[in-house]
Structure 1
Amino acid sequence: MSRPGPVHEQHTDHGHSQGHVHGHEHHHHSGFKGWLVELFVPHTHDAADSIDDAMEASTEGVRALKISLFLLLVTTLLQFLVVLISGSVALLADTIHNFSDALTAVPLWVAFILGRRAATRHYTYGFGRAEDLAGLFIVGVVALSAVIAAWQSVDRLLHPQPLSNLWWVFAAGLIGFAGNEAVAMYRIRVGRRIGSAALVADGVHARTDGFTSLAVVLGAVGVMLGFPLADPIVGMFISAAILVLLWGTVRSIGRRLMDGIEPDLIDAAHKALEGTPGVLAVPRLQLRWSGHRLQGAATLLVAHDVSLAAAEQTTHEAGQRLSHALPKVDDMVLTPLTATTKGSRA
């Protein structure tokens, strides 16, 4: 259940409140297009069922990584056994990629643990960025797996080898799809709850792996129908698909590292703050992700004839409204600014 975080006030010449505030609203697509968007580009957060305590969120993230790591390793082991008895290069490509996908859970696991550490004198914002750096490592591992799979496929095209036990290859492809889809559903669901883009991206990555496993099934069917080169061709297709789908992850991680933010989060924050009685405008609003938590600051323009106590009360109420509108936001600094003060600074 979502718990609105407290707003801790600190006072300056104009007053401000600093608090842990959480949540957001987002737009849902409809129809077939909406289904595709939600399948491969799901939202990073879920305001209806969020975990707004940073420690609890990290704990659930680590639990999700442990469980999904075990499932993927079991899937990879079963597929590798079939590779040994069948010689399918398409299945080998899929197995290599599934193994690399399992390994990507390790740096993300470490990042979640680092993110629990308190801020220090050298790292005054804490260690939330470790999660985004883990995302870069994930990108590198996935790209490397695509290159290895492509090399194996090209080698098999140049030096064809007969395949055996095709029904086992067929079954292994289905196992790969089932294992990856189970992991994808779990990672995406948890990632949305805790606000982790890296975990959601890893879940989408597992989902695409599941569909490439179905491509292995197509390769086996092609060989059964008398087209032996279908196996290495499908292996090359898998490698190309990995690289194409990887671009979405690169953009997501890159945006986080450049302090990019989803426009709907800004819109939700503006709506909450500007809807507070006594707030005339919000001339400055900043938000950024730090791992699976949000940080930010805003300036609230209030009437020039209000007292300092009234301005502080307005700021406190704005913080309360924001705490209900934006889950997963930490350290949101709200600074009241009177119209007279604004004019004197101009």
Structure 2
Amino acid sequence: MLGANASKNSTLTLVFLAALKGVVGFYSGSSVLIADAVHTSLDIFASFAVWVGLKLSLKDSAEKFPYGYYKADNLVSLFVSIIILFSGVELVREALLNITNPVGMKLQGIALGTAVFSVITMYGLSKYKARVGRLIDSQALIADAIHSYTDVFSSLIVVITIVGSMLGIKWLDSVGVLVISLMIFKLGTGIARDSVLTLMDAWLDKDSITRIRQNVGSIQGVKTVGEIRLRKSGLVVFGEIEIEIEGDTNLKRVDMLSEEIEKIVKNEVKNLEHLVVNAKPGKMSVMKIAVPVLMQEGLHSKVSGHFGRAPYFIFIELEDGKIKSWDISENPASDLEKKRGMKTTEFLKNRGVNVLIVGEIGEGPFHMLRDSFVKMLQMPEVVEDVEKVVEKVSELSTLTAPTE
């Protein structure tokens, strides 16, 4: 609504200015003031088009347009850029006419006052539209604000022309118009380029992609960040991001990660409407396995069916199915009376474990390890020693709930 109201207010202001300059230009005989009135009339059409585009972009989605009418805003932005370029051509034509056909003016004081009032009004109008455009991140409204800002210069040309006429110097306006026309062409082509690229779903802010990749990659549980795709559609942005996560992909885990990723992307991208997170499990090339054991006999140690009460844990580094290294450590929490399971969990997390093979595990430790993306495998009921368990690791079932 803010954007639509800004465009409507702009249109009404331009109608008043065009009428004022047209009437004063007609009675004063100022051709440049009349030409500026025609130029302002083109701005009325452009502002009206922006208002229509913003109204269309806010419509609810329909069957034929499931993603909404957001890109109407970008289409209008392209149209406004064409109007800007056309305005540049008009100014060049006015300059050439003033060189070959200089004319005198009547009511010079009133004409000068009208031109100065036009400069002040157009400057205020451009600032107003730019502020609202940045607030709602509307490309079309910002483009229209830039257009209004160029009109400040065209109005200044009128002031210079009238002052020059008063002093008997009638050629000053032509040189100024030619210089300003070049500025207008540059602005118009820049806006047209951005509009076309946006309509083709190009994302122009490459730095934001780099920052998103770095910040998402630092989230606990995210192993790698794949392709990131963002596209602007009118006032809003749609996005997709591919990630590999540590451990298994279950709905709750993906949900938690998606919420955190969306917060990060929203910090970098204004008006993010929707973000699709495609998550898949990352392959563990190196597994750091923890197994509770009863004694310190290396890979031949007898396994323990308990978690917190296990006197020792053996830590095995498995790469491509082969044991690379191992070591045994005493469980510092085995003799505790309270929070034994929680302390054991912290011990395993500090050792960088990503796989736990266990027989019995309580609710607290289970959820803490799962939230830390540690994969938990069910210990076989009949097993001889650690080495035999590790040989069957690919066949073990994943624990999806606490066992105690």
Q: Note whether the superposition's TM-score is higher than 0.5.
A: yes
Give the equivalent residue in structure 1 for 2:245.
Answer: 302
Give the equivalent residue in structure 1 for 2:75.
Answer: 133
Task: Tell me if 1:113 matches 2:18.
Answer: no
Task: Report the alpha carbon displacement of residue 334 of structure 1 after superposing the two structures with TM.
Answer: 1.0
Task: Report the alpha carbon displacement of residue 253 of structure 1 after superposing the two structures with TM.
Answer: 1.4
Larger Rg: 2
Aligned partners of 1:222 and 1:197: how far apart in 2?
38
Task: Report the alpha carbon displacement of residue 237 of structure 1 after superposing the two structures with TM.
Answer: 4.8
Q: Secondary structure of 1:245's partner?
A: helix
Give the alignment partner of residue 122 of structure 1, picking from 52, 64, 75: 64
Give the alignment partner of residue 165 of structure 1, picking from 102, 107, 116: 107
Instruction: Decide whether aligned partners of structure 1 residues 245 and 326 sit closer, same or farther in structure 2, where only a CA change above 3 A counts.
Output: closer
Q: How does 1:58-97 map to 2 (within 5 A)?
A: 59-97=1-39
Contact 1:60/1:190 (<8 A) preserved: yes
* Structure 2 residues without counterparts, runs of 5 or longer: 286-404
1:182-204 deviation line (CA, Å, top 9, x unaligned): 11111111111111111111111
Task: Tell me if 1:340 matches 2:283.
Answer: yes
Give the equivalent residue in structure 2 for 1:247.
Answer: 189
Task: Report the alpha carbon displacement of residue 272 of structure 1 after superposing the two structures with TM.
Answer: 4.2
Q: Secondary structure of 2:239's partner?
A: strand
Contact 1:97/1:146 (<8 A) preserved: no
Give the alignment partner of residue 142 of structure 1, picking from 80, 84, 104: 84
Give the equivalent residue in structure 1 for 2:272.
Answer: 329
Task: Report the alpha carbon displacement of residue 268 of structure 1 after superposing the two structures with TM.
Answer: 4.4
Contact 1:96/1:145 (<8 A) preserved: no
Q: Secondary structure of 1:298's partner?
A: strand
Aligned partners of 1:293 and 1:69: how far apart in 2?
24
Give the equivalent residue in structure 2 for 1:196.
Answer: 138
| Alignment TM-score, normalising by the size of structure 1 | 0.73
Task: Report the alpha carbon displacement of residue 289 of structure 1 after superposing the two structures with TM.
Answer: 0.7
Partner AA of 2:245 in structure 1: V
Identity score, percent: 26
Give the equivalent residue in structure 2 for 1:40.
Answer: none
Aligned partners of 2:213 and 2:124: how far apart in 1?
37
Task: Report the alpha carbon displacement of residue 281 of structure 1 after superposing the two structures with TM.
Answer: 2.7
Instruction: Decide whether aligned partners of structure 1 residues 225 and 134 sit closer, same or farther in structure 2, where only a CA change above 3 A counts.
Output: same
Aligned partners of 2:187 and 2:110: how far apart in 1?
28
Instruction: Decide whether aligned partners of structure 1 residues 228 and 338 sit closer, same or farther in structure 2, where only a CA change above 3 A counts.
Output: same
Give the alignment partner of residue 219 of structure 2, picking from 258, 263, 276: 276
Contact 1:90/1:234 (<8 A) preserved: no
Contact 1:76/1:176 (<8 A) preserved: no
Structure with greater contact order relative to length (CA < 8 Å, sep ≥ 6): 1
Task: Report the alpha carbon displacement of residue 235 of structure 1 after superposing the two structures with TM.
Answer: 4.7
Instruction: Decide whether aligned partners of structure 1 residues 203 and 271 sit closer, same or farther in structure 2, where only a CA change above 3 A counts.
Output: farther
Q: Which 10-residue stretch deviates more, 328-337 or 243-252? A: 243-252
Partner AA of 1:280 in structure 2: K
Instruction: Decide whether aligned partners of structure 1 residues 86 and 320 sit closer, same or farther in structure 2, where only a CA change above 3 A counts.
Output: same
Aligned residues: 284
Contact 1:187/1:199 (<8 A) preserved: yes
Aligned partners of 1:238 and 1:80: how far apart in 2?
22
Instruction: Decide whether aligned partners of structure 1 residues 98 and 281 sit closer, same or farther in structure 2, where only a CA change above 3 A counts.
Output: farther
Instruction: Decide whether aligned partners of structure 1 residues 173 and 311 sit closer, same or farther in structure 2, where only a CA change above 3 A counts.
Output: same
Instruction: Decide whether aligned partners of structure 1 residues 225 and 133 sit closer, same or farther in structure 2, where only a CA change above 3 A counts.
Output: same
* Structure 1 residues without counterparts, runs of 5 or longer: 1-58
Task: Report the alpha carbon displacement of residue 241 of structure 1 after superposing the two structures with TM.
Answer: 4.1
Aligned partners of 2:229 and 2:130: how far apart in 1?
27
Task: Report the alpha carbon displacement of residue 308 of structure 1 after superposing the two structures with TM.
Answer: 5.3
Aligned partners of 1:272 and 1:96: how far apart in 2?
52
Give the equivalent residue in structure 1 for 2:361.
Answer: none
Aligned partners of 2:51 and 2:251: how far apart in 1?
46
| Alignment TM-score, normalising by the size of structure 2 | 0.64
Give the alignment partner of residue 102 of structure 1, picking from 28, 44, 58: 44
Q: Secondary structure of 1:64's partner?
A: helix
Instruction: Decide whether aligned partners of structure 1 residues 244 and 314 sit closer, same or farther in structure 2, where only a CA change above 3 A counts.
Output: closer
Aligned partners of 1:330 and 1:121: how far apart in 2?
19
Aligned partners of 2:48 and 2:39: how far apart in 1?
15
Aligned partners of 1:92 and 1:109: how far apart in 2?
26
Aligned partners of 2:35 and 2:175: how far apart in 1?
11
1:53-87 deviation line (CA, Å, top 9, x unaligned): xxxxxx11111111111122222222222211233
Contact 1:295/1:332 (<8 A) preserved: yes
1:10-39 deviation line (CA, Å, top 9, x unaligned): xxxxxxxxxxxxxxxxxxxxxxxxxxxxxx
